[in-house]
Structure 1
Amino acid sequence: MNILRGIFPWAPSFRRSRKLEREVSGCKLYFEAPPYSDPFSDIQDWEAEPDSFDMFSPDGYQSIKYRGFHNVNERIDFPSIQFLRIFSSRWAFKGFPIVQGYGGYVGLGVTINAIRDLPINESVFHDKTFVREVYRKYDLTNLQDFNEGSKNDPFDLTQYRWPNYFGPLNCQWLELSGVDWLYFESQPLVSGMDRISLHTAITDKHILGCHFSLDRAGLNAGNAFRQNQRTPWDNYINFIQRIMDSIRLELSPELSIRRTEIQSQPGANSKPIFGCTPQQVKEAKHVMQMWSDRGYRDSRKSKNESHRATPEEVSAFIDKRIQPRPLHNSYPLGEKIDVVSRLPSELRKRPLMGLE
């Protein structure tokens, strides 16, 4: 069984991989991936985006959305950051034969993110400005993403707001075919997908993002902790790494000159990184442990017993998860900085944990 766990879920083969290309206002992005495979959804338009885009035209852009704090089912536009999707695809994995044929999937969305409110004298070609803007988007779409909590007492009327995601994790800079990219990961705490992100600046106000989503299918594993227990992510992450290693970006001559001009300024090429805080670690352990019985039943226990993992089990997982894992093409870890988010103060909410 341990041998099979190393083989399954079975990743799509790269023997049939294709060279993909997108042209964006004179910039060219190349990468390789197998043909898309998505047998279990109704989405019919994977990879239907055109081959070329004008990122300076407002056409095609959408405002990013964030989850409402008072109504977690509400999605609200944030027009200061808009995105243009230039590629989307999904690749299904195969599970254990007969027992579970479907093994989840890896998805990829490639976007151009336009910073509409960047101060006129700033450029995201400057590493610290770039990191600040990447973090602002992550803060809004991940750290401000809350659920209503898991209650022990059905008569508890407290309004909880617990984080759905934990991160950023394993932040590092990578060199991919001569271009520097910022890499980091997000860990789901309830259910949902692991997220892996790559970003690089392509103009003074535009950031190219490659967003991988990793959905792990597993029997009797309806929450993030049990998914990690039952379905190791090694084969998924190796598949993603193959795609990342094939990425090649060529800026237009004008933008390449502009990037060199900004990067030559003092401190502009410092490659800072960001990470999670001790408070986030504490909250993540609590949330993941409290939700660890969602969609899971321990066959050794009766219906009326607790099916949650122990706090010690979850703590050990989180402590391991926050350790750096340098990728083979990463730079030495840069200075970890405390990023001050440019989100308006009314949007920067703190979790309501019930632990205060």
Structure 2
Amino acid sequence: MIFGNKKKPKGPSWKKSLTITKSFSNFEIIFQIPERGNCPGLNGDEYPKTEFDLYGAEYAPIEMLDSRQHHAISEMPIYAEGWKFFGNPFIDRSQLGHVVFSVRIGHISDLPVNLSLFQRSELLRQFERIQQESDFGGYHEGFPEQEDAFDLTEYRWPNSLISVNAQWIDIAGTEWLYGEIQPLNHLHDSMLWICALTDSNYLLVEGSIQRYCANAGNPFRKEEVTPIDNYRALLEQIMCSMRLRIPSDWAAKREVFLRDENHYPLPQQDLEKLAPAVYTLFRWSGADYFGRNKISDADPRAPREQVAAFVQHRVQPRQLPGCIAIAEAPPIQDVKALNTGWTGAIDQPA
């Protein structure tokens, strides 16, 4: 593909890929990134290509989520790209979006002494907890279908659908737990990979995708204008090159836990989560969207059936390279029969 377009944005070239090494204590990650372009708003100096120590003094510890339990020892964006997603850089100057690839070293301070992140079940529990306690797992204030000065009902809608397409992946001998974030209002799309470093420390890799589209200011309409596939493929390709080296003592302990645990627990997308997701996405599907006729007074929201079909497609299993186990999605007929009476009113069950 010589030039991209809105439906199929062109990603960066891998002809001049770079090998990146990041060290932290006695751990090390090595991966490949494609040649970077000139991404407006993303200064290359902020995403260094040289080796650095994530425990170094220049990267001060930051608080993440609930500081009493989840402390990010360090967090660093390590790759950003945007301009080659514009399509033709000489003709089409409008920006379609950008991706940012970052790593985070985290510590679980309240982990019971008899548990370890090397246990798949415990890593899954903490992975879901990290998502739930972030903005992704939070809620925002909704609004009624019709404005009514006498209606004092409060509405509470979810920000995102978390743990989408969850699966266990083997990348160069390291097991990673993977999940995607589907925003329902204004947050960015995100892909998360997590693995255990020690009993209580983890490595979290996040690929975030931000798409900028005129007349498409909500997740449903953005997907209509510029699908996420090519953005996501770039981040997956970088992650497939990831190599993690851990000290021999922790490697030996990891093998003991993995040898004793022969199952791969996964989160499930149950219908109780999908009904609020469909409703929230439907209600926001008209935000910053005026339809093809910008002077029309018609309701700019998408038909509820189209939104439900999008969510149903979004939660379908999609195996990544190295997939070991993948979560199942609810049957199509069950998704189509979702409870359409959910509105997010505070007195309704979540």
Give the TM-score, by structure 2 length: 0.84
The alignment-based identity, stated in percent, is: 27
1:85 aligns with 2:75: yes
Matched, 1:167 2:169: no
> In structure 2, how many angstroms separate the alpha carbons of the residues matched to 1:352 and 1:113?
36
Structure 2 residue 191 is the aligned partner of structure 1 residue 201: no
Q: Aligned-pair distance for 1:304?
A: 2.6
Aligned to 1:9: 9
Unaligned runs of 5+ in 2: 330-341
Distance in 2, Cα, partners of 1:199 & 1:104: 25
CA distance change for structure 1 residues 230 and 7 in 2, over 3 Å: closer, same or farther? Answer: closer
> Which amino acid counterpart does residue 88 of structure 1 have in structure 2?
I
CA-based RMSD? 2.7
Alignment check: 8 A CA contact 1:168 1:186 kept: yes
Q: Displacement, 1:302?
A: 4.6
* 1:210 Cα offset (Å): 0.6
| Residue segments in structure 1 that go unaligned for 5+ positions in a row | 66-76, 337-350
Deviation (angstroms), 1:263? 2.2
Report if the CA contact (8 A) 1:64-1:79 is conserved: no
The one of 326, 330, 341 aligned to 2:323: 330
- Counterparts of residues 185-196 of structure 1 (less than 5 Å): 185-196=180-191
Task: Map residues 37-186 of structure 1 onto 2, 5 A cutoff.
Answer: 37=37, 39-41=39-41, 45-48=45-48, 51-54=52-55, 60-65=60-65, 77-83=66-72, 84-92=74-82, 93-97=84-88, 98-142=91-135, 144-154=137-147, 155=149, 156-186=151-181
In structure 1, what is the Cα distance between the partners aligned to 2:276 and 2:221? Answer: 18
| Structure 2 CA distance for aligned equivalents of residues 308 and 100 of structure 1 | 28
Q: Is the 8 A contact 2:23 2:51 kept in 1?
A: no
Partner of 2:311: 318
For residues 42 and 326 of structure 1, what CA distance do their matches in structure 2 show? 31
Q: Do the aligned partners of 1:29 and 1:248 also contact (CA within 8 Å) in 2? A: yes
What code does the residue aligned with 2:79 have? S
Matched, 1:235 2:236: no
Output the TM-score relative to the length of structure 1: 0.83
User: What is the SS of the residue equivalent to 1:308?
Assistant: coil
What is the SS of the residue equivalent to 1:78?
Answer: coil
Deviations along 1:55-75, one digit per CA (max 9) or x if unpaired, are 9x9x8332213xxxxxxxxxx
Contact 1:23-1:52 at 8 Å conserved across structures = yes
Cα separation, 1, equivalents of 2:136 and 2:130: 9
Aligned CA distance change for structure 1 residues 143 and 192 (closer, same or farther; 3 Å): closer
Deviations 1:167-203 (A, max 9, x none): 2110011111111111110101112311100011010
8 Å contact from structure 2 (residues 117, 196) kept in 1? yes
Residue 149 of structure 1 and its aligned partner are, at CA, apart by 1.5
Counting only pairs closer than 5 Å after superposition, residues 334-345 of structure 1 correspond to structure 2 as none
Is the partner of 2:116 in helix, strand or coil? coil
Residue 271 (structure 2) aligned to one of 268, 273, 278 = 278
Counterpart of 1:333 in structure 2: which amino acid?
I
1:223 aligned to which of 214, 218, 221: 218
Aligned length: 325
AA aligned opposite 2:117: V
